[in-house]
């Protein structure tokens, strides 16, 4: 019964999920890149991250451009890789596009 009700909306739900995740990554990266990079580097240093001054812009850039990529749908298959369950744990390998 639930499949009959919600089945036609399945593709829209994935779109909304992608939209929200992309917006969250984009805004968090933008806040770090365009206003709080020194604060974020200090936060990383306080928590023991090595080379915090180098890691802060890298993390902020990955969040910003990753969120933009999720919103635009560019490179999502390549970024996700091909994850599958192995008896020893999760194995990720790159997709052949």
What is the average pLDDT score of the chain?
A: 79
Residue 81 sits at the vertex; the CA angle it makes with 48 and 29, to the nearest 5 degrees, is 45
Burial class (CB in 10 A: 0-12, 13-18, 19+), 41: buried
* 3-41 pLDDT tens trace: 777 777 777 877 888 899 999 999 999 999 998 899 999
pLDDT band (50, 70, 90) for residue 87 = low
Residues 28, 33, 35, 41: is their CA dihedral positive or negative? positive
Q: What is the value of pTM for the model shown?
A: 0.67
Length of the chain: 97
Q: Report the pLDDT value the prediction gives residue 89, as an integer from 0 to 100.
A: 53
> Structural domain tally of the chain?
1
Instruction: For tokens 């009959």, name the residue.
Output: 4
Domain interval for residue 61: 2-93
């Amino acid at each position: 019964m639930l499949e009959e009700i919600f089945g036609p909306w399945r593709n829209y739900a994935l779109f909304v999920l992608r939209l929200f995740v992309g917006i969250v990554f984009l805004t968090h990266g933008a806040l770090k890149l365009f206003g709080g990079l020194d604060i974020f580097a200090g936060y990383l240093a306080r928590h023991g991250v090595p080379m915090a001054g180098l890691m802060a812009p890298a993390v902020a850039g990955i969040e910003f451009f990753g969120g933009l990529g999720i919103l635009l749908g560019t490179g999502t298959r390549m970024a996700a890789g091909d994850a599958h369950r192995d008896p020893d744990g999760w194995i990720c390998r790159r997709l052949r596009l």
